[in-house]
Amino acid sequence: MPLRAEPLLSERSVRGRRGVRYPRPARLPADHELPAHLRRRALRLPELSELDVVRHYTRLSQKNFGVDTHFIPLGSCTMKYNPKLNDRLSFLPGFQNLHPLTTQEALQGILELFFELEKWLCELCGMDAFTLQPAAGAHGELAGILIARAYHRSRKESARVEVLIPDSAHGTNPASAALGGFTVIPIRSNTRGRVDLEDFKSKLGPRTALVMLTVPNTLGLFEDEILEIARLGHEAGALLYLDGANLNALMGILKPGELGFDLLHLNLHKTFSIPHGGGGPGGGPLGVRKSLEDFLPMPRVVREKGAYRLRENSKKTIGRIRSFFGNVGALVRAYAYIRSLGGTGLRQVSETAVLHANYLRVRLRKEFPSFVDEPCMHECVLQAVGPSWNGVKTQDVAKRLLDFGFYAPTIYFPLIVPEALMIEPTETESKQTLDEFIEAMRQIAQEAQSCPERLRAAPHHTHVRRVDEVQAARKPNLRWGRGEGGGGL
Ligand SMILES: *Cc1c(COP(=O)(O)O)cnc(C)c1O
């Protein structure tokens, strides 16, 4: 805790104080300044020394939670440790300074990396081709949806306008389907947290374009009737799409292609350890079966006579979905991650991730029962319900965890679970950390009985206390400065 209230940058401001002043070059180009009418006269920015600014931003960064400082058991989003090796490799000047408009001869190195990365992803997923362009999971979904649309149109099956999506799905699934012009038909989950087969059958038909599933699903459970679902879906003429955000449970253990999926996206920034949060930059490659390959976005990397080339034309392509080649820095990191672990290492990642989730699930069983009390995969969905909770909500548990130095799990998701806490420990945490987390969770369950008020007012030890989230969403205050209408910097 700070000993005294920290002044705002504006309060430290001293007129005329500067950080650095570089000498003016002897000769300035004639147009070195913006025309006067485009310039604002009074910016009223704080005037500070370089040291003031460095301290301010360093302190701000220390108030934050990140994987490099805290355990982030955020379910669905796989916040694992991002090995520094991957950063180092992506910062190599040959990658970092490469211009996307340079000649294809000069691009040979990065094209080879793309080509090899695509092959690795195909091998891991049992797919025939990948596009590396999508910048995130939701972007991969949209590419997949557009491919499904183009595929059905090419077969003169334009009446297929519906996408079936389980009610436990991530919100991006229905959003992507709707954006692609489809009607979303929700499928009910059964009491075991899986797709209700009868409900699925009743909604499947000649209007179904796509069945969009998540395996393991957002409850961290394996969809154990998947072979039957795939058979029925194909029989009805639909394509089967996998939201592959949960690949962290499957690597080296199971290839989604062998379950019958026709197309899938991955989240490189989740499974393949690319730093994420705050919106990117990530990677959401889309993999497809041979029969869909011609629909992939252009350009594609091909190898001819020992050299790599970008193929730009294809009759059936859905077109470009991203400038240049995608988030190249993210792709280099994913490639480095895969190559440094190899096939055996990746399998070990998934096995350990599953083991850790089950360890937490079982050791927390008494205080936080699972929504479905069965072995889970890489994440578990627990609940804070029952009379012993004294009206304390999951939200309060999440806030109190911050006081113990843990980031909050995903809460109130999936939507079908009341008072849900979705916990994904990942493979990169040690047993000590998991035990400390379990201890904190148990203490919180105790506090719900002995002093529920403390939980309702949590967090108590963070720089920012409980915020009014409804107000923050409805009336966001984004202005700089303290006082009326100001957010404070
Ligand atoms: C994260 C996630 C998405 C969306 O991925 P983004 O990269 O955030 O766009 C979709 N589905 C599931 C299950 C996810 O966990």
List, for residues 375-397, the tens digit of each pLDDT value: 999 999 999 999 999 999 999 99
Summarised one tens digit per residue, pLDDT across range 81-130 is 999 999 999 999 999 999 999 999 999 999 999 999 999 999 999 999 99
Q: Has residue 485 got a pLDDT over 60?
A: no
Q: Has residue 487 got a pLDDT over 50?
A: no
CA of 239 to the centre of ligand 1 (A): 20
Q: Has residue 2 got a pLDDT over 50?
A: no
Whole-number pLDDT of residue 36: 84
Nearest CA to ligand 1 atom 5: 137
Average pLDDT value for residue range 458-479:
88
Whole-number pLDDT of residue 115: 98
Whole-number pLDDT of residue 481: 60
Q: Has residue 449 got a pLDDT over 70?
A: yes
Residue from 72, 74, 76 whose mutation best tests the ligand 1 pocket (most atoms within 8 A of CB): 76
Task: Point out the ligand 1 atom lying closest to the alpha carbon of residue 139.
Answer: 9
Nearest CA to ligand 1 atom 6: 137
pTM value > 0.75: yes
CA of 243 to the centre of ligand 1 (A): 8
Nearest CA to ligand 1 atom 3: 137
Whole-number pLDDT of residue 4: 61
CA of 245 to the centre of ligand 1 (A): 6
Whole-number pLDDT of residue 483: 53
Q: Has residue 432 got a pLDDT over 50?
A: yes
Nearest CA to ligand 1 atom 1: 77
Residue from 74, 215, 243, 273 whose mutation best tests the ligand 1 pocket (most atoms within 8 A of CB): 243
Q: Where are the domains of the chain?
A: 85-341, 343-474
CA of 103 to the centre of ligand 1 (A): 35
Average pLDDT value for residue range 148-158:
97
CA of 384 to the centre of ligand 1 (A): 25
CA of 269 to the centre of ligand 1 (A): 10
Phi, psi of 296 (to 5 degrees): -60, 155
Whole-number pLDDT of residue 63: 85
Q: Has residue 5 got a pLDDT over 90?
A: no
Q: Given this chain, do its domains 85-341 and 343-474 carry the same CATH topology?
A: no
Summarised one tens digit per residue, pLDDT across range 265-298 is 999 999 999 998 766 689 999 999 999 999 999 9
Summarised one tens digit per residue, pLDDT across range 194-217 is 999 999 999 999 999 999 999 999
| Average pLDDT across the chain, whole number | 93
Residue from 170, 266, 381, 426 whose mutation best tests the ligand 1 pocket (most atoms within 8 A of CB): 170
Q: Has residue 403 got a pLDDT over 80?
A: yes
Whole-number pLDDT of residue 280: 67
Whole-number pLDDT of residue 488: 45
Pocket lining for ligand 1, CB < 6 angstroms: 76-77, 136-138, 170, 172, 214, 218, 243, 245, 267, 282, 284
Summarised one tens digit per residue, pLDDT across range 339-364 is 999 999 999 999 999 999 999 999 99
Whole-number pLDDT of residue 486: 47
Q: Which of 43-47, 64-68, 438-442 has the lowest mean pLDDT?
A: 43-47
Task: Give the separation between CA 150 and CA 154, rounded to whole angstroms.
Answer: 6
Summarised one tens digit per residue, pLDDT across range 406-429 is 999 999 999 999 999 999 999 999
What proportion of the chain, given as a percentage, has pLDDT over 90?
82
Give the class (CATH, top level) of 343-474: alpha beta
Query: Domain spanning 85-341 has what CATH number?
Result: 3.40.640.10
